[in-house]
Amino acid sequence: MDPGGSSGHRDISEIAPELRRTLLAWWEVHGRKDIAIKPWMFTTDGRWPEPNEDLSPYGIWIAEVMLQQTQLRVMGPYWEQWMVVLSTMQHLAAAEERQVLLLWQGLGYYSRARRLHQAARQLAASPLPSSLEAWQAVPGIGRTTAGSILSSALNTPVPILDGNVRRVLARLHACLEPPQRAQASFWQWSEALLDPLRPRDFNQALMDLGALVCTSRSPSCHVCPWQRSCAAYASGEPSHFPVKDASKPIPSQVIGVGVVLNEAGEVLIDQRLNEGLLGGLWEFPGGKQEPGEAIEATIARELREELAIEVQVGEQLIALDHAYSHKKLRFVVHLCRWISGEPKPLASQQVCWVEPSSLIDFPFPAANARIIAVILEKLSH
């Protein structure tokens, strides 16, 4: 909320109690209070917790970090599997990094898994943090994740601001600025609306409203508990909000990839540096095609620059398209024969020759599963 109205938005603190009441009444009937959907939100005996009951923050923390860049319906099975293998902070702290990355395989943004691991090692000897500041000091935890962990686990009255909440608030206020440019106002709005007696339920309800009713493309305003107070609904064009910055075209790139075999029939793989979306994962070496360059020349050049080896580039194994939110990639994968040079990790953490049948023991980006399948198929003939 903008208590002083300085940004031109109305002050809705007077109707906040009514907004809380109608939202929670809607959520009691329609919310995602289902143990099969959000098992980390339930007590050990399978009940939604009462306001005076605490939940273990560990499982909620793991779920919240998975949810940072992955949808609820996708991350559920990953969370279940994780909690079977690494059921406590102590188990996570004692695990090897490769095991942690394998459990994360398919969720993307692997730095999240490495930061969880690192944080568990830091925190394992002490009780889990119980304040917003202490959670925000944990690697990989920002304000909304900290707020979500505390309100979910301990029913602490702290606001959240994830993508769903941002969209609902942008519409409730018909905010004319993109949310990224008006963060302070959005936090104030989330805080002013929060139910001080039932913060856990309220934050869940707000997220559920965004996920189930106030959806991105076609909000179902006719069943929304906030329709009468919603400025975007009143404008007649609710899906025009949140306002976006003018979007830039998504760049596309072609990546030449070499599956290099030595005389012993082993395949060369390298481990990426720890930064970025796929940091720390293993991959087949390669790199970007330069303008006007044949893909075979790209592969030979990249392997020379990144591994200091000479190869003979042979037949194409597969071409794959992969779209990320910020770029589109086309991987063109060729079989290569190693000719000379001891491979050196000039642009990676380490390189190694492995038996093709051992490739599945290494954490690779999800897009590589098809490359591995094609290699195994090809080499079996």
Q: Which residues sit at the interface with ligand SF4, rule CB under 6 A?
A: 168, 171-172, 213-214, 219, 221, 224, 226-227, 230, 232-233, 238
**Which C-beta is closer to ligand SF4: that of 165 or that of 261?**
165
CA-based end-to-end distance of the chain? 66
Is residue 231 within 8 Å of residue 15, measured between CB atoms? no
**Which C-beta is closer to ligand SF4: that of 26 or that of 104?**
26
CA 134 – CA 269 distance, rounded (Å): 40
Is residue 229 within 8 Å of residue 209, measured between CB atoms? no
Is residue 340 within 8 Å of residue 262, measured between CB atoms? no
**Which C-beta is closer to ligand SF4: that of 146 or that of 213?**
213
CA 23 – CA 169 distance, rounded (Å): 13
Active site residues per annotation: 64
**Which C-beta is closer to ligand SF4: that of 59 or that of 219?**
219
Smallest separation, CB 222 to ligand SF4 (Å): 8
Residue 212 vs residues 33, 206, 251, 271: alpha-carbon distances, Å: 13, 10, 32, 40
Other Cβ atoms within 10 Å of 47 Cβ, number: 10
**Which C-beta is closer to ligand SF4: that of 18 or that of 310?**
18
**Which C-beta is closer to ligand SF4: that of 76 or that of 242?**
242
CA 177 – CA 31 distance, rounded (Å): 29
The dihedral over CA atoms of 73, 74, 79, 82, expressed in degrees to the nearest 10, equals 160
